[in-house]
Amino acid sequence: MGRESQGFAALPASQRSLAGAIGVLHRWARTTSEQRTAALGPANEGRRRRLEQQADPEGVLSPEDLAAAVDRLRRAHMRKAALASAKARAARKRAA
């Protein structure tokens, strides 16, 4: 029994990631923007609630201040991810 008969789980991590990305692109290619919004709605709502809780655990901020704080936390998260990605690229370049 070869690796090809063991399915997706038998792939190396890098190939699983690519295969997953291909599947996601095919899924979104067959959906409308309304369907994408509906599919992602629960995840987006959960992320917003988590960031609101981080920004204002006591619930004392005004809606405007809370929205601004959530936006800053979201932008900080994206920049942290970009920094981690840059560090990983640099490490791979050093290792090559």
**pLDDT tens-digit profile of 24-46?**
999 999 999 999 999 999 999 99
Residue 11 has pLDDT above 50, yes or no: yes
> Please, which residues have CB within 8 angstroms of residue 74's CB and are 6 or more apart in sequence?
51
For the chain, the domains span 11-95
Whole-prediction pTM? 0.69
Q: What angle do helix axes 63-95 and 33-55 make, rounded to 10 degrees? A: 100
Residue 1 has pLDDT above 70, yes or no: no
